[in-house]
Chains A and B, each alone.
Chain A
Amino acid sequence: MTALSRVPPALAACIAALLCLARPAPAQIVIEGRVLDDMTEEVLAGARVLLLNRFNRTADYAVTDAQGRFRFERSRNERYRLEVRAVGYRETITPDIWTGDREFAAIEVRLLPNAVLLAPLEIVALSPPRTSPVLEAMEFRRTRGFGIQITREAIEQRQPMRVTDMLMEIPGVYADRTGTGASARSIRMGRALSGPGGGPCPVQIFLDGMLATRPGAGGDVSVDDLVSPLDVEAIEVFKGLGSVPPEFLNVYARCGVIAIWTRRSLEGVP
């Protein structure tokens, strides 16, 4: 246990103790603490705590919980400072905290109230949250059973090397090797049509709403040449003619439609 170090009154912060109690990951220090009102000793929930490194840059960020507590896990043998802000209180920056080889540090930060005159606040109108029209349309189709949707979240969980790796996991979707390259694969879909279905045709690939597939048989494009999984925001797969949205409906839609939305297509949406 180390001695308490008191922050100068102008900063109205107090470093309560540096304790070596817990045993976190090797070469890590746990910096735990709480934020208090310096006058009333009440804990301050929702205070924003920035952990600044020796270059005065934000190394980590936390918001205090209902008990006014925050917690960081950082590398040892570093010099840190805490910048703490809360509505109605003066912003406070602690002096340097040298962690040394310690495993645990408990810090108490006290904030001085800052009188702020606020007019009575009444919210009379709120605009709806702005979302992407692309994602809204996709959600509309998903909730109504139109096609199969692969979201960015699913892509990040799966972390595929190629887009076709994910497409091939959908029942009825498979890939033909069309050349010698690693990405030379074109997508096919198993058809449920009872008749010949008008003969073979390529799966219709739309990239950000634009048709990438060339017309007619042999017009396949390699999805993996078009786009990387890193750039994909969402993929929609329509295996049946009945589920193809009107905007993707064309004469070859009976062979299946894949709509790929890149992250670029969402640009401009905050």
Chain B
Amino acid sequence: MTRNRLALLCLPILGSAACVSNTDVPAVSVWETTLNAALEYPDFGGQAAAVSEPSGTSVGILVTGAEPGAAHVWGLRLGTCASPGTRIGPATDYPELAIGAAGSAEAETHLGSRLSLEESYHVEVRASATDDSRVACGDLAAR
């Protein structure tokens, strides 16, 4: 397939439609955020980072101060915490955050899509697979 560098490249992503241009996507970009806890989870904290490359985007998250034994779900989403959009990729792309005895958990995933500097993204942690209430959230910033 011939590549047209000026054309828009639409990445088919389940659950979202993030369209990015070849011209505005650097070869690699690094993103990071600190998670801000919801009021109901004052001790909750953590951070997330993403590395976007031509082959896709690696996303990692670490949460702390959670209730041991809990299992939270998380995802990289379009938009900001204040104005959230859809999740990038299906829920099954994101391994569950199984909180250990120390109250922390870490997870990583690799998404098939790249991140655009023209878009806003955020990482959100939710209470569980069946409870969509927000536990923590952080707006990703490119660096």
Residues of B within 8 A of A158 (CB): none
Q: Mark A179-194, 1 if CB is under 8 A from B, else 0.
A: 0000000000001111
**What residues of A have a CB within 8 angstroms of the CB of B59 in the complex?**
241
B28 & A241 in contact (Cβ 8 Å cutoff): no
1/0 contact trace for B119-143 toward A, CB 8 Å? 0000000000000000000000001
Q: How many residues of A contact B (CB 8 A)?
A: 24
A239-264 contacts to B, CB under 8 A, are 240-244, 246, 249-254
Expressed in whole angstroms, the minimum distance between the Cβ of A63 and any Cβ of chain B is: 39
Q: Is B75 interfacial (CB-CB < 8 Å)?
A: no
Q: Chain B 84-106 against A: per-residue CB contact (8 Å), 1 yes, 0 no?
A: 00000000010100000011101
B112: which A residues are within 8 A, CB to CB? Answer: 195
A-B interface contact total, Cβ < 8 Å: 86
Q: Tell me whether A129 is interfacial, beta carbon within 8 Å.
A: no
Chain B residues lying within 8 Å of A249, measured Cβ to Cβ, are 30, 32, 49, 143
Interface segment, A131-139, A196-204, A221-229? A196-204
**Min CB distance, B42 to chain A, in Å?**
15
Q: Which residues of B contact A198 (CB under 8 A)?
A: 51, 53, 55-56, 58, 110
Rounded to whole angstroms, the CA-CA distance of A246 and B49 in the bound complex is: 9
The reply to whether B102 and A242 form a contact with Cβ atoms under 8 Å apart is no
CA distance A257 to B59 in the complex (A): 15
Whether the Cβ atoms of A240 and B106 lie closer than 8 Å is: yes
Q: A195 vs B95: C-alpha distance in the bound complex, in angstroms?
A: 12
Check A196 against B55 for contact (C-beta < 8 Å): yes
Count of chain B residues with a beta carbon within 8 Å of a chain A beta carbon: 33
Task: Decide: A241 and B93 in contact? CB cutoff 8 A.
Answer: no
Which residues of chain A are within 8 angstroms of B103 by Cβ–Cβ distance? 145
Q: Which chain B residues lie closer than 8 Å to A146 at the CB level?
A: 62
* A193 and B110 alpha carbons, distance in the complex (Å): 6
Contact of A194 among B32, B104, B106, B110 (CB under 8 A): B110
Q: Dominant SS at the A interface?
A: loop
Give, as a whole number of angstroms, the nearest-CB distance from A195 to chain B.
Answer: 3
Would you call A192 and B108 a contact (CB within 8 A)? yes
A254's nearest neighbour on chain B, judged by CB, is B58
Interface string of B36-71 (1 = CB under 8 A from A): 000000000111111101011011111010000000
B66 to chain A, nearest CB (A): 10
Instruction: Tell me whether A251 and B49 are in contact (CB under 8 A).
Output: no
Q: How far is the CB of A40 from chain B (nearest CB, A)?
A: 55
Interface presence of A144 (CB below 8 A): yes
Mask, A209-245, CB within 8 Å of B = 1, is 0000000000000000000000000000000111110
Instruction: Look across to chain A and name the residue whose beta carbon is closest to the beta carbon of B92.
Output: A194
- Per-residue A-contact encoding for B15-32, CB less than 8 Å = 1, 0 else: 000000000000011101
The answer to whether A250 touches B110 (Cβ under 8 A) is no
* B80 at the binding interface (Cβ < 8 Å): no
Nearest CB on B from A191, distance (A): 8
- The reply to whether A253 and B49 contact each other, CB–CB distance below 8 Å, is yes
- Asked whether B116 is an interface residue with its Cβ less than 8 Å from the other chain, the reply is no
The residue of chain B having its C-beta at the shortest distance from the C-beta of A240 within the complex is: B106
B-contacting residues of A (Cβ < 8 Å)? Answer: 144-146, 191-199, 240-244, 246, 249-254
A-B contacts, 23 listed (Cβ < 8 Å): A144-B45, A145-B62, A145-B64, A145-B102, A145-B106, A193-B109, A195-B109, A195-B110, A195-B111, A195-B112, A196-B110, A197-B58, A197-B110, A240-B60, A242-B106, A242-B107, A243-B62, A244-B60, A246-B47, A251-B53, A252-B51, A253-B49, A254-B108
Given contact pairs A197-B58, A250-B30, a sample of 10 additional A-B residue pairs in the complex whose CB atoms are under 8 Å apart: A144-B45, A146-B62, A192-B95, A192-B108, A196-B110, A198-B53, A198-B55, A241-B59, A242-B49, A252-B51
Nearest 7 interchain pairs by C-beta = A241-B60, A242-B60, A195-B110, A145-B104, A242-B62, A242-B61, A254-B58
